[in-house]
Amino acid sequence: MLTLPLELTSVIVAFAPLFSKSVWEHAQVLLVGAILAPGKRTVTSVLRVMGKSDDEHFQSYHRVLNRAVWSSLAASRRLLGLLVSVFVPEGPLLFGIDDTIERRRGEKITTRGIYRDPVRSSHSHFVKASGLRWLSMMLLVRVPWAERVWALPCLTCLCPSERYYKERGRAHQKLTDRAWQMIRLVGRWLPERELIFVADSSFAVISLLRKISDMKRASLITRLRLDAALYDRAPQRQPKQRGRPRLKGARRPTLQQVLKDSQTKWTHLKVAGWYGEAERMIEVCSETAVWYHTGLPPVAIKWVLIRDPLEKFNPQALLCTDLSSTPQQIIERFVQRWQMEVTFEEARAHLGVETQRQWSDKAVARTTPALFALYSVVTLMAERLINTKVCPVRTAAWYKKEVATYSDTIAMVRRHLWSSYHFSMSGSRPDVIKVPRTLLERLTDTLCYAA
């Protein structure tokens, strides 16, 4: 039976009701081992770091991922509830939605496809990658000890390619279709909270915007094309007027024309947290309009046109389905979306995303979302520990660091887990501790094979 520190048990035990008793015992080992293991996050590396290299029933741990009966959605709901209660107990909730490519190879991975690699590609250079596409929803919150906004994954789903659906005779689910499913789920889980979603231009789709506009207490902020067709609201229908009701009013100038118009009135705005900067002075112009395209439902939006007085970045436009939001709120909420890219990178660096080796459909669909969720679980564990002490920051004579990063956070959790194995103190020399040989061998083995 695995024994954990009381501060960390309060986080892990919340997921116990989702598993049977036998599966939960093995799931705890996988969870703690995934935190402690450096490098690859295969099941075998987890068992080694947990001291179970000689366990003849090692297949039971594989079955937690590829065969056991438990719901990833139920686990996501429980995780989201913990994150909200700890970091945002009241007020609006800000979520980021973005996709990432997990580079994987293997003929037995049925959901594998060929996609554009967003990290290695540029506007002039196109790079393909073989792997899995994941769509992740993250809660954007300010973490007190880090003194900045973190993106904490709470719901991740697999988005197979169009060829995958075609080979199985099924209708293709686009990225925006998956996003709408996730938004509806979160809206169902948190019916009383105001939900604000931020996403990149891939989700600037009229049909998705209209669906979110019809939801109660929900809105979406994303980019807007400078050549989008914008219109006035449809004029009020007169009594006894014949014909179909109008969907839109008069055509408005495009944002590209507004940008070039010398009569456009610009407002200076100071934005906090502009892509790593403390503050940034920009110029904005904002109005409400109707975005319409033939064959699609019209959607009322509030657009914000942004330009840089120093001309260090190209003009850009944002839209929001909440017409009551101010330009300041729209911009400051949207720039927080960049923290999702930081989370994707840190999950690869510290949690071994892309190093797992499962190939069965169920294991593939569970492992990567579990590793992304582990990012949030570690943050929750650190929050419990920091209530009693300060998060240590790793510094050196050549490297000054004032606030904690995720590497400091996971290091603190690991240190607490390792120290929970009851190191005994020497009576004659208090600066010397006695370490059990089995634990010393595990630590030595972990360090020798860390690379």
The Cβ of residue 264 has, within 10 Å, a number of other Cβ atoms equal to 14
Q: What is the pLDDT of residues 17-60, one digit of tens each?
A: 999 999 999 999 999 999 999 889 999 999 998 989 888 899 99
What is the reported pTM?
Answer: 0.92
**What residue segments make up the domains of the chain, in order of their start?**
6-71+359-421, 422-451
- Band of residue 143 on the pLDDT scale cut at 50, 70, 90: very high
DSSP letter, residue 431: T
Q: Which two tokens stand for residue 399?
A: 């490297």
Q: What is the pLDDT of residues 236-274, one digit of tens each?
A: 888 888 888 888 889 999 999 999 999 999 999 999 888
pLDDT of the residue at 339:
94
**In angstroms, rounded to a whole number, what is the distance separating the alpha carbons of residues 372 and 321?**
29
**In angstroms, rounded to a whole number, what is the distance separating the alpha carbons of residues 154 and 141?**
12
Query: In this structure, which amino acid lies at residue 144?
Result: P
Residues 6+ apart with CB under 8 A from 377: 11, 12, 31, 79
Using only the alpha carbons of the chain, give its radius of gyration: 25
pLDDT at residue 429 is higher than 70 = no
Q: What is the pLDDT of residues 285-324, one digit of tens each?
A: 999 999 999 889 999 999 999 999 988 889 999 999 999 9
pLDDT of the residue at 169:
92
DSSP string across 2-65: ----HHHHHHHGGGGGGS-HHHHHHHHHHHHHHHH--S---HHHHHHHTT-TT-TTTHHHHHHH
**In angstroms, rounded to a whole number, what is the distance separating the alpha carbons of residues 316 and 226?**
7
Q: Which two tokens stand for residue 226?
A: 């400078």
Are 180 and 211 contacting, i.e. CB atoms less than 8 angstroms apart?
A: yes
Q: Which two tokens stand for residue 450?
A: 């860390």
**In angstroms, rounded to a whole number, what is the distance separating the alpha carbons of residues 200 and 211?**
17
Q: What is the pLDDT of residues 175-221, one digit of tens each?
A: 999 999 999 999 999 999 999 999 999 999 999 999 999 999 999 99
Q: What is the pLDDT of residues 155-188, one digit of tens each?
A: 999 999 889 999 999 999 999 999 999 999 999 9
